[in-house]
A and B are shown apart, each in its own frame.
Chain A
Amino acid sequence: MKKISYREAMREALREALAADSRVFLMGEDVGRYGGTYAVTKGLLQEFGPERIRDTPLSELGFTGAGIGAALGGMRPIVEVMTVNFSLLALDQIVNTASLYRHMSGGQFSVPLVIRMATGAGRQIAAQHSHSLENWYAHIPGIKVLAPATVEDARGMLAPALADPDPVIIFEHAALYNVEGELPEPWSTDIKSAMVRRPGSAVSLITYGGSLPKTLKAADMLGKDGIDAEVIDLRVLRPLDDETVMASVRKCRRAVIVDEGWKTGSLAGELMARIVEQAFYELDAPLARVCSEEVPIPYARHMEEAALPQPDKIVAAAKGLFG
């Protein structure tokens, strides 16, 4: 095992994909000369050249659509939309074209496109740069939504995403890029399953993406108080792996969902509904969730922290289930 950052893991995955398949190319704003807004693509321009590490103008709708067209035309494009905030400008092409072409054409066309984008808050960059809208995309049939939360998933999810015949969106939480971890060999390339990140028996803490480290910390805190929490990392937000979630909930009989999205209309809400549909009689307590407060993400550090899920809030929510 080697120690590697989430950023480096993603870069290695990109390098491997570009080297392995001449159909693969990367395009997006400042992916080339600038080296990537989050420095993920640093050095790739020198290695693969400007045709394959393609800088685009600020045209999220245009270059996402061009990625769809290139995928239809036999390429395997990776489109980097700098952040989820700017992906709203590309929403039409993703929702009205990429996700629909297979179905509207009666199965004739598929769009093997990978879209990567940073997501999430926690870096004091204020409301317009701090959205967590993964759930909007997870609502759409026809696309897969991935949320790598570990260096292993940052390294391993890109190759199967590129091999997938349908559009896949990869959400990289911006707070994770500097996180270092041990990369096992071989690493997992699973893009179907949720995973147990910490086994436990008293309460299921179900989360994904940037909230995973916070949830693991909360589980440690609960452990010190004698509550053995299990942590589930969803990893794949669409389609959801109900089986792993329900197995954990049936075992622990209590569950807290942790989701950086706003509570109203959240992925957390969807998970709660599924648990109620599938495991209601096996619950010993009402379900709970920790989401972002219903406020645009503020700039000031103490206010931003107060708006987001934090380990102490997760601990409090879990303890609340034990009466």
Chain B
Amino acid sequence: MTIAPPPSGPVPWEREFALGMVRDMLRIRRMEERAAELYGEQKIRGFLHLYIGEEAVATGAIHALQAEDNIVATYREHGHALLRGMPMRTIMAEMFGKREGCSRGRGGSMHLFDAKLRLYGGNAIVAGGLPLAVGLALADKLHEVKRVTACFFGEGAMAEGAFHEALNLAVLWRVPALFCCENNLYAMGTALARSESQTDLCAKAASYGVPTTKVDGQDIVAVHEAAKQAQAHVREGKGPFFVEFQTYRYRAHSMFDPELYRSKQEVEEWKTRGPLHTYTARLKTEQKISEEDFLALDAEVAKEVEDAVAFAEAGSWEPVEDLTRDVTAA
């Protein structure tokens, strides 16, 4: 595989906004690096799917959305929840299984939900969120609400029937859904070419009559600008839109994955395209950020992470007497 050169070129944003993007990518990165350590310490258990390497996608895309939009995400959704506005404390507490977590510890890493933030999971069935997103968008259409439902999913989901059914329904019914494919090239350990007869994912989506865009998911500028256009199309009532964000996962699929399916060299080559350092370098070239600025941001984020961990540590366990609550309303 030949790997494209690192993202480069001018950053068309004013300084404060540009630095905010660094901050948010750092927040995801540092939160997850700490989560991985905490997994080693057995504070976090079960599955833990890290987004490290893919941060530009959620950061760029979610910054293009509005606060009242709906978000449907996958089991690799820590970053999406954080940038939607869920406090890092709440995310960390959920990963610890504590009552102070967003789902009272009933969901864990894969099931981050927030009704007020209109974050509808945290769905750990590949492609499971796609039909749900069509329904959310349909409800908004029927209510005549100008809201976008952004649905994030991996390229692995595009081999599922649910993807095809959802795209077909979304276009037939012209619902305001933004389909965000995070193509990280591997469905667990199965490479794109081994799972898709048509590896051009936009061509595949386009067969349903949905407009599409392919974007370098390691380039936050490209991600954000594409997402802005895509969400505007959807919000204007022109029907659904499909964006393929081409990205790469630097860590294992989950903490149980020995990564037998790809070489260390491939991972290292992809790291030259890392979303955080390439973007920071571009900002430095334009003198929008100094090394001191970066270190100050990093220190600020480190504080937020340690505060979140302390909060999760100090959290409480839900009493076992409550076991059967929240199964049905009554």
Contact = CB atoms under 8 A, between A and B. Distances in A.
Contact of A107 (B70, B125, B326): B326
Contacts of A104: 103, 106-107, 111, 113, 121-122
Q: Which of A65, A71, A107, A109 has the most CB of B within 10 A?
A: A65
B206 to A, nearest CB: 18
Q: Which of B107, B131, B136, B162 has the most CB of A within 10 A?
A: B131
B161 A97 contact: no
Given A61-B165, A97-B123, A165-B329, A106 B135 contact: no
Interface stretch (B139-147, B234-242, B282-290): B139-147
Contacts of B111: 104-105
A69 B165 contact: no
A102 interface: yes
Interface stretch (B17-25, B166-174, B256-264): B166-174
Contacts of B325: 107
Q: Which of A61, A67, A70, A106 has the most CB of B within 10 A?
A: A106
Contacts of A165: 328-329
A110 B143 CA distance: 19
A260 interface: no
Nearest to A100: B111
A226 interface: no
B104 interface: yes
B328 A102 contact: yes
B168 A62 contact: yes
Interface in B102-127: 102-107, 111, 113-115, 120-123, 125
B138 interface: yes
Nearest to B169: A62
Nearest to B112: A105
Nearest to A75: B139
A171 interface: no
Contacts of A59: 165, 168-169
Contacts of B128: 65, 92-93, 96-97
B328 A70 contact: no
A61 B163 CA distance: 10
Nearest to B125: A96
Consensus secondary structure, chain B interface: mixed
A144 B330 CA distance: 11
Interface in A52-78: 56-57, 59, 61-75, 77
B135 to A, nearest CB: 2
B131 A69 contact: yes
A6 interface: no
Contacts of B57: none
A101 interface: yes
A71 B101 CA distance: 25
Contact of B101 (A73, A106, A107, A109): A106
A103 B113 contact: no
B133 interface: yes
A219 B111 CA distance: 51
Contact of A69 (B103, B137, B162): B137
B132 interface: yes
Contacts of A70: 135-136, 138-139, 142
B134 interface: yes
Nearest to A51: B142
B327 interface: yes
Nearest to B72: A69
Nearest to A64: B131
Contacts of A25: 142
Interface string A105-136: 11111100000000000000000000000000
A61 B137 contact: no
Contacts of A77: 135
Nearest to B108: A104
B240 to A, nearest CB: 13
A68 B166 CA distance: 13
B322 to A, nearest CB: 10
A92 B131 CA distance: 11
A57 B136 contact: no
B130 interface: yes
A141 interface: yes
Contact of A109 (B115, B140, B143, B162): B115
Given A51-B142, A142-B327, A105 B115 contact: yes
Contacts of B130: 65
Contacts of A30: none
Contact of B103 (A51, A63, A73, A108): A108
Contacts of A65: 128, 130-132, 134-135, 162, 165-166
Nearest to B329: A165
A8 interface: no
Contacts of B149: 69
A103 B135 CA distance: 20
A166 interface: yes
Contacts of A142: 327-328
A154 B143 CA distance: 29
B106 A103 contact: yes
9 contacts: A57-B168, A62-B168, A69-B132, A70-B135, A77-B135, A93-B132, A103-B326, A104-B107, A109-B120
Given A66-B138, A69-B132, 4 more contacts: A70-B142, A74-B139, A109-B115, A110-B329
Q: Nearest 8 pairs between A and B by C-beta?
A: A69-B135, A65-B131, A73-B139, A62-B165, A106-B104, A105-B113, A106-B103, A66-B135
Interface of A: 25, 51, 56-57, 59, 61-75, 77, 92-93, 96-97, 101-110, 141-142, 144, 164-166
Interface of B: 70, 101-107, 111, 113-115, 120-123, 125, 128, 130-140, 142-143, 149, 161-162, 165-166, 168-169, 172, 325-329
